[in-house]
Structure 1
Amino acid sequence: MPHAPSHVVTVILRRMRQEARPEVIAAHARLRAAAAQAEGFLGAQDSWLPPHGDEIDLVTVFSFRSRRDLEAWDRAPERQRLIADLDRHCLDISERAAFDGLALLQPDRVRVSKPETVAILIGLILTLGWLADLLLPPFPEPGRTVLAVSVNVCLISYGFLPWSIRLLDALKRKAR
């Protein structure tokens, strides 16, 4: 069954002088009113962070039904005009972050228990240790041990463990 398109949330942070706040509020209200007319617009929320010195930050979150709706809004000439008006009052503007279905904010979806992870680690350590003994006999001690442990740690940490956990997770999902 195909998945429905996920909602998209965009977040942007604008910094301005406190005296620019009334103009920013007015410009942002015009932007929100225009966005409310856009296809797929779900809502917006603003949060003013506590002032620091004579500057203040505005965090804005816009929600759209899909990435396609957000991209159409991004291309709208009215939006471009309103954003330019809003941004001229700002000292600094963050890059906008867009999250589809909040995927980047959710915890990792891999569901492998600690005992399974430990079993994978033990298996990898024994296997790679055995291979190191086969491949490194001419190396003198303690260099051989240091090299074998270093290779084990690197291979397990950056290669075999992430790969084997994803594989185990995929096998577990398939078995359900």
Structure 2
Amino acid sequence: MLRVIGTEYNPAHQAFEVYVAGCTRNCPGCHNPESHSFGKGRRWPEWLRDNRFKLGTRTFKRVWALGGDLLCQPDMVDALEFIKALRRAMPEHMELWLWTGGEPEDVPAELISWLSFVKTGAYRQTECSRLVRYDEDGIPLLLASDNQRLWKIKENSYEPCHTEKQGHEDA
């Protein structure tokens, strides 16, 4: 069963980050190597029961499912149920984002209708970072490598977000 290893609030993007356990991509220089193991964390139904109230606080505008990688889960039916339950627990206006090292064609069609945005592309530490604009009012989002893309989901299809500029990460 899918597990959640932790959460964090990202004030710059008004996002509640939900880190899932498990990734098989093994990207050199991964930002979250502690999330690779599938056995860590709490089973998602327990986590959601205990954290549902946070979704209604209006402290944030979006929920980011990342970690690990949802698309690397051994049981995609369970991963889909997690996304559905998370979406149903969120206020209607709140955005649900999926962060994956996969490509758009790797995202199951039945998952897309539950999402607002999808970040695709494996991390490549030898590439420059990429800034993308995803909303008119917010600050641009820094994607860690130039091969990564951010897609807005509209009517179950992908619409690319605008690239601002590219540069090297100073971190």
Coarse TM-score class (shorter-chain normalised): under 0.3
Pick 1 or 2: higher relative contact order, CA cutoff 8 A, min separation 6: 1
TM-score by length of 1: 0.25
Q: Which has the larger radius of gyration?
A: 1
